[in-house]
Structure 1
Amino acid sequence: MARAAWSRRRVLAGLLFLPPALAGCGLGGGSGSDEPDPLIALADAARADAALAAAAVAADRRLADALQPLVDARTEHAAALEAEIARLDPDRPSPAPAPPPPGRPGRAEVQQAVLASGRAAGEVALTLPPERVGLVASVAACCNAYAEVLA
């Protein structure tokens, strides 16, 4: 089964071809829209992925070398996304921490979650104004890279 080769460079290079006009088309949450900021869902997913990977490490310490860097990266993603959300909405309350996942998740569950997060971030990146694309594209590339490593 062939898998698409999504490198961080490839994702970022592809995003460079988005026309700057997208910024003025009402695409990309945050400014004057009744829709919630799309980065909120990405930050929630980052916290959930970090909690899932941490739970998998707690369930099987042999996964620590493979998953601890992912826990750290997804925690950093959540913080960076929250900072960007707060930049546009400083009065937004702080989010609650992600609840612990049920059961004893393993490598496969973490891989599926981070793959879904990478896809979601890639889709959101296509709708954002230029000043927000870099952050979200970086998150998408990182998630996709970890999904490949864990496959």
Structure 2
Amino acid sequence: MESPSRARSVLGRRSVLRLFAAVPVAAALTSACSSAPEEPDPLVALAAAAKSDAQLAKAIAQAHSGLADTAGEVAAVRSEHAAALEREVDRVNPRDPEDPPSVPEPAPQQAPSSAGTATKALRDALTGAQDRAAQLVPGAEPYRAGLLGSVAASCASLREVLG
């Protein structure tokens, strides 16, 4: 015969303990499946800036013959940065080939009218790119940290070439 205390309880002590043990698992599962929007990949903005910098450098190379070689090199390197960053974005978040590119193409750029202003514009763009990439390194996964560090170092080197 059951004791009166057990007869009154719908849930036994073991059932209550199992219920409490299952709460953290249920909480983890529901939070993992939440539909909260994820933050955008910070490398998308860096890749877009690299494409924009390459456009600016190409425009400067065409408008100022004295800067053509240097600006052409900046354009080539920043295009490489954009491609490497975009590949990393697509590696982490694979996209359907039918979808548009993960990094949109920038609007066409016009070169500043004077060579001095053009050089300053390139220098400022490279400084900004270096700073943004370097800021992301500490919180990045190892591979991404290496990629970001390479972009930052490359921008610093290009800035030195500009003088």
Contact 2:60 2:111 in 1 (8 A): no
Structure 1 segment 20-99 matched on structure 2, within 5 A: 34-91=38-95, 93-94=100-101, 95-99=103-107
Q: After TM superposition, what 4+ stretches of structure 1 lie above 4 angstroms from structure 2?
A: none
1:12-33, CA deviations, whole angstroms, 9 ceiling, x for partnerless residues? xxxxxxxxxxxxxxxxxxxx98
Query: Cα distance, 1:103 vs. partner?
Result: 5.1
Contact 2:56 2:110 in 1 (8 A): no
- Give the root-mean-square deviation of aligned CA atoms: 1.8
Aligned-pair identity (%):
38
Query: Cα distance, 1:102 vs. partner?
Result: 4.0
TM-score calculated relative to the size of structure 2? 0.68
Paired residue for 1:116, among 106, 124, 128?
128
Gaps of 5+ in 1: 1-31
Structure 1 segment 4-19 matched on structure 2, within 5 A: none
| Larger gyration radius, structure 1 or structure 2 | 2
Cα distance in 1 between the residues matched to 2:50 and 2:67: 19
Letter of the aligned partner of 1:101 in structure 2? Q
More helix by share: 2
Letter of the aligned partner of 2:141 in structure 1? P
Contact 2:48 2:104 in 1 (8 A): no
Query: Cα distance, 1:104 vs. partner?
Result: 2.5
Could you say which residue in structure 2 is the equivalent of 1:8?
none
Gaps of 5+ in 2: 1-35
Whose RCO is larger (CA < 8 A, sep 6+)? Answer: 1
Letter of the aligned partner of 2:109 in structure 1? P
Contact 2:56 2:111 in 1 (8 A): no
Cα distance in 1 between the residues matched to 2:94 and 2:79: 20
